[in-house]
């Protein structure tokens, strides 16, 4: 099931996208995505308001969870080739400098002010940074609360998946010797265009692609994650209660702007598109 938050005729709704990805119908009685997550068990049989169904092309898709109750959890350096390009770039933050592949996942967060949706403008913040970069990532959405979740039970806690762009100001990441400030700026977390529920896909075999102005920059598969999804859920939930609606971004593959020599950072007017199998395409313009 593909679920989207969208605007049509001035009304914001949660709807179900059909299997051909051409029509969307609002789900009766579901106000927002957290409602949908709470009703996960009966969502498939929930009635759609077919009188208000319309072509997907006629609606404005919005960030599926526009105001998460907590920071977005993110994982750094989780694809080998990206870990290598990061190590060689000179932009690596002090706390994780050194080995190309770490023995434990690097986890940081992005605050809720970073969230924007498909086709929203991402601000370049040129008064404080000149090295804004893109990071295409698979994100998972927690469906069932849990703490100290074991690897074997991890998938039982996942509601679904979506795309995020973990936008990063590399100079702030480097200069402040941590990852938060460079990743926390307003609009720095585009998300969408929809959530596919966990039964829709195999998260360990999804193609992840990213284009800048039509040029393919990132092209990988989630099977190459260093720390797989069960490991990430187990690590982050150790002593920390994960709650429905929490978002975990799983890391970006090689091909980000800092990996080029010289680096290819984003400029005003650049368009970044990210596609992941079953999850559609997330496009944003940078200004």
Query: Contact positions toward Mg ion, by CB under 5 A?
Result: 135, 166, 252
Least distance in angstroms from the C-beta of 112 to Mg ion: 17
Query: 108 burial class (0-12, 13-18, 19+ CB within 10 angstroms)?
Result: buried
Residue nearest to Mg ion (CB): 166
Q: How far is the CB of 184 from Mg ion (least distance, A)?
A: 13
Report the sign of the C-alpha dihedral through residues 66, 113, 218, 267, in that order: positive
Q: Are 245 and 69 in contact (CB under 8 A)?
A: yes
Nearest to 111 by CA among 189, 33, 176: 189
Q: How far is the CB of 137 from Mg ion (least distance, A)?
A: 6
Question: In this complex, which beta carbon is closest to Mg ion, that of residue 24 or of residue 167?
Answer: 167
CB of 35 to Mg ion, least distance (A): 29
Helix spans in 7-159 (H) = 33-38, 80-87
Residue 236: CB minimum distance to Mg ion, A = 14
CB closer to Mg ion out of 85 and 135:
135
- 131, 182 Cβ separation under 8 angstroms: no
Nearer to Mg ion, 16 or 209 (CB): 209
Nearest approach, Cβ of 250 to Mg ion (angstroms)? 9
Nearest distance from C-beta of residue 238 to Mg ion, angstroms: 21
Q: CA 87, 93, 96: angle at the middle one, nearest 5?
A: 70
DSSP 234-271: HHHTTTS-B-TT-EEE----S--GGGSSS-----TT-E
What three-state secondary structure class fits 76? strand
How many angstroms separate the most distant Cα atoms in the chain?
A: 58
Contact 229, 154 (CB under 8 A): yes
Q: In terms of CB distance, is 114 or 197 closer to Mg ion?
A: 114
Give CA–CA dist 174/170, Å, rounded: 6
- Gap between the Cα atoms of 25 and 97, Å rounded: 48
Pick 52 or 71: Cβ nearer Mg ion: 71
Closest CA to 68 of 29, 111, 107: 111
Q: Which is closer to Mg ion, CB of 149 or CB of 189?
A: 189
Cβ nearer to Mg ion, comparing 252 with 273: 252
Kindly tell me which of 89 and 252 has the beta carbon lying closer to Mg ion.
252
CB of 23 vs Mg ion, minimal distance in Å: 33
């Amino acid at each position: 099931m593909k679920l989207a938050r969208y605007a049509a005729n001035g009304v914001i709704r949660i709807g179900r996208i059909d299997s051909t990805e051409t029509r969307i119908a609002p789900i009766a009685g579901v106000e927002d995505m957290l409602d949908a997550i709470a009703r996960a068990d009966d969502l498939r049989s929930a009635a759609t308001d077919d009188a208000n169904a319309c072509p997907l092309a006629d609606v404005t898709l919005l960030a599926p969870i526009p105001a998460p109750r907590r920071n977005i959890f993110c994982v750094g350096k989780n694809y080998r080739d990206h870990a290598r390009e990061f190590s060689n770039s000179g932009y690596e933050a002090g706390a994780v400098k050194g080995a190309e592949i770490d023995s434990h996942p690097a986890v940081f967060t992005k605050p809720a002010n970073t969230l924007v949706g498909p086709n929203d403008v991402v601000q370049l913040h040129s008064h404080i940074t000149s090295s804004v970069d893109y990071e295409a990532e698979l994100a998972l959405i927690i469906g069932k609360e849990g703490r100290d979740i074991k690897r074997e039970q991890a998938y039982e806690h996942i509601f679904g998946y979506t795309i995020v762009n973990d936008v990063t100001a590399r100079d702030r990441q480097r200069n402040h010797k941590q990852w938060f400030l460079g990743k926390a700026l307003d609009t720095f977390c585009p998300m969408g265009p929809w959530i596919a529920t966990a039964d829709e896909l195999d998260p360990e075999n999804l193609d992840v692609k990213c284009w800048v102005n039509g040029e393919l920059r990132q092209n990988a598969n989630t099977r190459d994650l260093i720390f797989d999804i069960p490991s990430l859920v187990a690590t982050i939930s150790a002593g920390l209660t994960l709650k429905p609606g929490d978002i975990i971004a799983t890391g970006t593959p090689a091909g980000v702007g800092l990996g080029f020599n010289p680096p290819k950072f984003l400029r005003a007017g650049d368009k970044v598109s990210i596609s992941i199998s079953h999850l559609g395409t997330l496009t944003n313009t940078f200004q």
